Amino acid sequence: DTAGNLNSSSIFFSINLSKGHDIDKHEFDGDSTDFSSINRTLLQNLSNVKIEKLDRGKIEFIENINISRDINISKYINISFNKIDMQSEFLDMFNKSATLKIYNLTFTNPRILFNDQACPSSVCTKNSYSNGILSFNVTHFTTYSSEETSSSGSSGSSSSGGGSGSSGGGKADLSDFSINTNLIKVSLLQGETKIE
């Protein structure tokens, strides 16, 4: 200093390299990956990522994920009863193949739904169903759920008489279709429509 004395000071600090990859521990628990304990370098090629809600379901990613970008993961993933939903437009780095498990189901023979429609085999592959846990693989993310498979077992290729016309839009791919009504009678005039 100006008096000719030698002085020194020390400053201690820490850097949280994973800040911004929040996963709310009140929202997800169980076997969920703790992103706060992983440094940013490892987050660029992270394997075995899991997100779980103990009484509802679990996502286990098959592919490695690059989550070097700051994001609140809990805001865009919802695991609720019989539903796993991810807003992949906000979590594009998570839009990868994964194994999903839906817990506490009471179905006899559940089928997988993709946005409330029967999930095509090109997207969903059923692994198992045991003790109320449905396990299946998916190729990408949207909203997945399940329902009881109908007892009729027919898969969309059969047709019934009494109607004519064509859909024209190529959307004739129905599977496991059933009706719980014995008779439906509808009278229509030409050009009139009715939904029953």
Report percent pLDDT > 70 for the chain. Answer: 76
pLDDT tens digits along 80-111: 999 999 998 888 889 999 999 999 999 999 99
Distance CA 66, CA 135 (A): 25
Select the more confidently predicted residue: 122 or 17. Answer: 122
Residue 86 pairs with which residues in a beta bridge?
Answer: 77
Burial class of 45 by CB neighbour count within 10 A (0 to 12, 13 to 18, 19+): exposed
Structure tokens at 38: 């992983």
Per-residue confidence (pLDDT) for residue 114, from 0 to 100: 94
Burial class of 36 by CB neighbour count within 10 A (0 to 12, 13 to 18, 19+): middle
∠ CA 48-54-55, nearest 5°, is 140
pLDDT tens digits along 14-63: 655 444 455 555 578 888 888 777 777 888 888 999 999 999 999 999 99
